[in-house]
Structure 1
Amino acid sequence: MLQYHAIGADGSHSISYPRLTELSDGTILATAAYSGDHPPHFPIFASEDGGATWEWRSNLTDQVNGLGFGSQPALAELTFNLGIFKAGTVLASGNSAGANGTNIDLYASTDKGETWKFISNVARGSAPSTQNGNPCIWEPFILPTNNTVGVFYSDQRDPLHGQKLSHQVSTDLKNWGDVVNDVAYPLYTDRPGMTVIDYIPPLKKWILVHEFPGGDSWSGAGYPVYYRLADSPFDFRYAYGYPIVFNGVQPSSSPYVVWTPEGGINGTIVVSDADHQSVFTNRANGQPDQWEKHNSPQPKAYSRALHIFSKENSRLMILGAGNFPGVDPPGTNRPLYASVVEIQDILRNKPG
């Protein structure tokens, strides 16, 4: 097991909501929401040795809105040529938010995260507020696939839904298609949020996880985690949503999902949440009654990120940082903190 602190917090700065992506050369880029500076920005860190050591590489700054980047970063590498952008281009987004609105903009780096350039606006909303009826947007997730890039996000702009999950797609990174629903429940006050997606090769399906305040909870989970399976990452609106449950315990809030070929003929789906140090696993292609809960070495945190290494797919990186405001005692400063562990070591821990 490997553990490393990439950056610390202090009395005037906090760090949360970590995100990462692995480049085609094996470099890991990581970032997080880093509050305390004005305007806020996303620090970009790089590891070229599988997470053993990290160095600061750049800051992703807001170049167009005058608001900064204060929350909800997203990273991905373009693995194919798209428009004028070559494979290997690093894509980044986040919520550039303030009194003037919420903005999900796309940035690109052609030098592995050393420098960044604004490319386009994907979506805009009003100033941030979680009150139903306030038409703002949150929590982008970038997915390059099949000569298309999709940006998925939480969307409060629809008068029929307090919040829903939406996406838009582009084939040139400059022009974006219509808003498409991914998860939209008929009860107005339901608020599905925080899309993360991965592919399950043995099943030939995609999995989407989201938190679901308002969803069924048998364990007291305030934001129970649900998942859907679909043939296309752009067709989750046709899929059924299942809660993750193990022995009456449900993951809650800010989920993340990855798939690894380790763990059996079906591989293993791994899900993280904010309320548990453990991870939830499924080795039965997502069958609802086959979830397990296994301890992990990484402390619980708000919106931990998971990653399976492309060339060492038995290894799981868990990237964490601070908890949601109010969870920790005043004065608690949690760093951006990476753990790398073998999947088989996770699975050997007794479920429970």
Structure 2
Amino acid sequence: MRSAVATFLWLAAQAGAALASPRPAPPAPFQTFTNRTIYDPHGKARVMYPRVAELDDGTLLVTASVMGSSFFSRDAAFPIFESKDAGASWTWISNLTDQVNGWGMSAQPALLELREPLGKFKPGTILASGNSWSSNGTRIDLYASTDRARTWQFVSHVAQGGAPNTTNGATPVWEPFLLVHNHELIVYYSDQRDPLHGQKLSHDLLTWGPVINDVAYAEYLARPGMTVVAHIPPLRKWILVYELPVGNSSSYGSHYPVHYRLADDPTQFDAAEPIAIVVDDGKGNKIAPNASPYVVWSKEGGKNGTIVVSDADRAAVYINRAGGDPGKWEIKDAGQAEAYSRALHVFEKRQEALAVIGGDSFDGNGWGGLSLTVLDVREWWGGGKGCKERRA
């Protein structure tokens, strides 16, 4: 079994790019399409936990975790792919590797382009984070690229904890998410180090001062996880989504039900009301989204725009056109298979265009590769499926 890095280098040597195997011609640029392959890992490698960033000029960057036969691999890396045509075609441009720990960049990547100066970094700098782990610990590390993701430089350790272990009482850190707010970089993450909580959601600022709670429950067994944050301009609020397992409890069959909080300030979520997403499927059934949520906002859909949430267990997504009203969630077909921690993206200059990016399922029952669907959310208002071109 090749290591993740060796696999990518082999593909590049064979075909001049990471996309080596024959496949259908790409769809037309800046159109809707379904299940466009970004990367096919071949063999037994699995691609999961994709993340996306749109650059100032409209370029898309996508990365993901690549899991091989070994849970601990010093060669583990996040491949970086680039698209200049809104996801229709892709080129592998680099690997983000562990430069300091000797542990590998193991899982849970995050991406962000700076649109303003931040410390020593100029606008256009791309920041990346991820979880570097081994049997000795977990480290959420921050890297920067000043050449559009071609090369990467280590910046700092954001947070570090014990070895990866989801058992309550263990002390790892997980799942970073990056946001710039009020001229500061915020790094959100899941935190098992507090002895008062099995797990909580925390964040640090660029100076990496004291840990600040975002979501922490008094019940020890509660394990909020997998922070993603988005801005909702018409409400002048921010939304945080997270999964919330509590022991062996469930909500409408979901053991990791998705919750959200709305706050005026993205550093003040801990004081906000927790709300579970529950959807009526139109057939008299209640549905609770399950696990690894992602959230984005589009200005399409009315005066409040549309909040879009993804989960791990359904190909559909969940939308809210009523400013987050708990009773106004709807479920809509997204044309992209269920996967562990799918990513969503609304194009900055095409707010009707929603990208849904997925990889393998958590249990390994999916295809295993990295792919995306781009749909037109305006189709939902007319009862359509959001994507007219059905296959790419």
TM-score norm. by structure 1 comes to 0.95
1:33 matched residue in structure 2:
65
**What CA distance in whole angstroms lies between the structure 2 residues aligned with 1:60 and 1:9?**
17
1:105 matched residue in structure 2:
141
1:237 and 2:273 correspond: no
**What CA distance in whole angstroms lies between the structure 2 residues aligned with 1:157 and 1:347?**
45
The Cα of 1:55 is off from its aligned counterpart by 0.2
**What CA distance in whole angstroms lies between the structure 1 residues aligned with 2:153 and 2:98?**
10
1:12 matched residue in structure 2:
44
**What CA distance in whole angstroms lies between the structure 1 residues aligned with 2:130 and 2:380?**
31
1:194 matched residue in structure 2:
226
**What CA distance in whole angstroms lies between the structure 1 residues aligned with 2:62 and 2:384?**
31
8 Å Cα contact 1:10-1:333 kept in structure 2: no
2:317 matched residue in structure 1:
279
2:340 matched residue in structure 1:
302
**What CA distance in whole angstroms lies between the structure 1 residues aligned with 2:251 and 2:178?**
32
SS in 2 for 1:202: helix
The Cα of 1:219 is off from its aligned counterpart by 1.1
* CA RMSD after TM alignment: 1.4
- Over alpha carbons, which structure has the higher Rg? 2
The Cα of 1:38 is off from its aligned counterpart by 4.7
1:291 to 329, 337, 356: 329
1:2 matched residue in structure 2:
33
Q: What pairs with 1:1-352 in structure 2 (closer than 5 Å)?
A: 1-3=32-34, 4-36=36-68, 38-170=74-206, 175-214=207-246, 217-247=250-280, 248-326=286-364, 328=365, 333-349=367-383
SS in 2 for 1:140: strand
The Cα of 1:9 is off from its aligned counterpart by 2.6
SS in 1 for 2:174: strand
Specify whether residues 323 and 232 from structure 1 end up closer, same or farther in structure 2 by C-alpha distance, changes over 3 A only: same
8 Å Cα contact 1:32-1:72 kept in structure 2: yes
**What CA distance in whole angstroms lies between the structure 2 residues aligned with 1:35 and 1:71?**
8
Specify whether residues 217 and 35 from structure 1 end up closer, same or farther in structure 2 by C-alpha distance, changes over 3 A only: closer
Specify whether residues 348 and 302 from structure 1 end up closer, same or farther in structure 2 by C-alpha distance, changes over 3 A only: farther
**Is the deviation greater in 20-29 or in 340-349?**
340-349
Determine what percentage of the aligned residue pairs are the same residue.
53
TM-score norm. by structure 2 comes to 0.85
8 Å Cα contact 2:251-2:257 kept in structure 1: no
The Cα of 1:348 is off from its aligned counterpart by 3.4
**After the TM superposition, which parts of structure 1 deviate over 3 Å for at least 4 consecutive aligned residues?**
215-218, 346-351
**What CA distance in whole angstroms lies between the structure 1 residues aligned with 2:228 and 2:342?**
11
The Cα of 1:78 is off from its aligned counterpart by 1.0
The Cα of 1:276 is off from its aligned counterpart by 0.8
8 Å Cα contact 1:294-1:350 kept in structure 2: no
Specify whether residues 287 and 300 from structure 1 end up closer, same or farther in structure 2 by C-alpha distance, changes over 3 A only: same
8 Å Cα contact 1:8-1:333 kept in structure 2: no
SS in 1 for 2:348: coil
Which ranges in structure 1 are unaligned for 5 or more consecutive residues? none
**What CA distance in whole angstroms lies between the structure 2 residues aligned with 1:120 and 1:154?**
18
8 Å Cα contact 2:299-2:306 kept in structure 1: yes
**What CA distance in whole angstroms lies between the structure 1 residues aligned with 2:45 and 2:63?**
15
**What CA distance in whole angstroms lies between the structure 2 residues aligned with 1:166 and 1:349?**
39
Deviations 1:179-204 (A, max 9, x none): 00000000001100000000000100
The Cα of 1:217 is off from its aligned counterpart by 3.9
**Is the deviation greater in 61-70 or in 31-40?**
31-40
**What CA distance in whole angstroms lies between the structure 2 residues aligned with 1:9 and 1:297?**
22
Q: What amino acid does structure 2 have at the position aligned with 1:237?
A: D
**What CA distance in whole angstroms lies between the structure 1 residues aligned with 2:382 and 2:104?**
44
**What CA distance in whole angstroms lies between the structure 2 residues aligned with 1:346 and 1:34?**
33
Which ranges in structure 2 are unaligned for 5 or more consecutive residues? 1-31, 281-285, 386-392
